[in-house]
Amino acid sequence: MDFGLQGKSVLVTAASKGIGKATALGFLREGAKVTICARDADGLKLAHEELVAATGGQLLAIQADVTDAKQVAELVEAAESAHGPIQVLVNNAGGPPPGDHKAITESQWTNSFELTVQSAVRLTNLVLPEMEKAGWGRVINISSYSVKQPMDNMMLSNSLRLAVLGWAKTLSSEVAESGVLVNTVCPGWTDTDRVNGLLQHQSLEHGVSEAEVLATITDKVPLNRLAHAEEIANVIIFLASEAASYVTGAAIPVDGGAARVV
C-alpha cells in the first residue's frame, strides 16, 4: 500500500529514544522529511546518526524541551525552513511521574500539565494555520492505554492524558472541514528504556528478578508480551497516511488487548 508520505514534512517530538525514535524511523522509511527533537544533545546526536545510517533519509535533529515555549517556537521555525510547513505533527513527550493523590505536589501537577497537555496544545497551535491553509494535515498524539483503563498509582497520567483526549476530540471537529485529522494513539506496555528502567527498579525494590517483574506485567496482557516500539509506530504511520483519510477524533489502543474495555 502506498501511504502517500513521500516528501511530507513531519515533526516527531521527544524522539531520541523509544516510541518517538521508532516513529521517526518509520516516517523516514516512507520517504518523509523528518524533524526530531529531545532535551539531551548527546542522545539526540546518536539517534540522528543511527536513523540516517539506517535509512539515508532527510532528518533534522534539534535540541528542544517540549515544555519550553521559546525552544518549541524555534524548533518549528527550524523544521519549516529545512523541510517546509509541517504536514504531520506527532506530539510525544516523556510521561508524568507516578504517585497517588497524597504523594503528588502542586508543582508536579503544574509541571506535568506543561509536559502532557500544554506541550501538545502549543505545538499544534503553531503548525495548524499552515495545515489549514494547505487543506491537509495530521496531528497525532502519543498517549497511553491508561486513558481506557486507569492504572494504579498514576494519578497525574490518568488525569492529564484525559485532558489531551478531550482537547483532541474537540479540535478534530473544529478543523475537520479544513482537511486536518486529529487522532491519538494509546500504547500499552512497550519495550523501551522507560519500561526497562522500571523493571530494574522494581526488581531491586522487591528482590525478584527482572523476568519475574516482567511476567507480572505481561500476564495481564492478552498477547502476553511487551510491544515493540515499531508496532506503536506502525499505527502512527497509518494514521498519518492517505489510507486513514476517514479516521479523525479517535483514540486507538495499541496495547496487545491490555485495556479491558470494548
The binding site for ligand NAD (CB under 6 A) comprises 14-20, 37-40, 43, 65-67, 92-95, 115, 142, 144, 187, 189-190, 192-195
Q: Which residue is nearest to ligand NAD (CB)?
A: 18
Q: Taking the complex as a whole, how short is the minimal distance between the CB of residue 104 and ligand NAD, in angstroms?
A: 16
CA angle 35, 37, 198 (to 5 degrees): 130
* E-only strand ranges, the chain: 9-12, 33-38, 59-63, 88-91, 137-142, 180-187, 251-254
Q: Taking the complex as a whole, how short is the minimal distance between the CB of residue 242 and ligand NAD, in angstroms?
A: 26
Residue number, 20 or 137, with CB nearest to ligand NAD:
20
Residue number, 138 or 148, with CB nearest to ligand NAD:
148
Whether residue 17 contacts residue 94, with contact meaning beta carbons closer than 8 Å, is answered with: no
Whether residue 44 contacts residue 38, with contact meaning beta carbons closer than 8 Å, is answered with: yes
Q: Taking the complex as a whole, how short is the minimal distance between the CB of residue 97 and ligand NAD, in angstroms?
A: 10
Q: Taking the complex as a whole, how short is the minimal distance between the CB of residue 243 and ligand NAD, in angstroms?
A: 23
Q: Taking the complex as a whole, how short is the minimal distance between the CB of residue 115 and ligand NAD, in angstroms?
A: 6
Q: Taking the complex as a whole, how short is the minimal distance between the CB of residue 81 and ligand NAD, in angstroms?
A: 20
Residue number, 128 or 254, with CB nearest to ligand NAD:
254
Q: Alpha-carbon dihedral of residues 148, 152, 155, 158, nearest 10 degrees?
A: -10
Residue number, 175 or 259, with CB nearest to ligand NAD:
259
Parallel, antiparallel, or unpaired for β 33-38 and 9-12?
parallel
Long-range contacts of 110-115 (CB under 8 A, 24+ apart): 111/67, 112/156, 112/157, 112/160, 113/160, 113/163, 114/67, 115/66, 115/67
Residue number, 142 or 182, with CB nearest to ligand NAD:
142
Residue number, 189 or 238, with CB nearest to ligand NAD:
189
Q: Taking the complex as a whole, how short is the minimal distance between the CB of residue 221 and ligand NAD, in angstroms?
A: 11
Q: What is the DSSP string of 210-256?
A: HHHHHHHHHTTSTT-SPBPHHHHHHHHHHHHSGGGTT--S-EEEEST
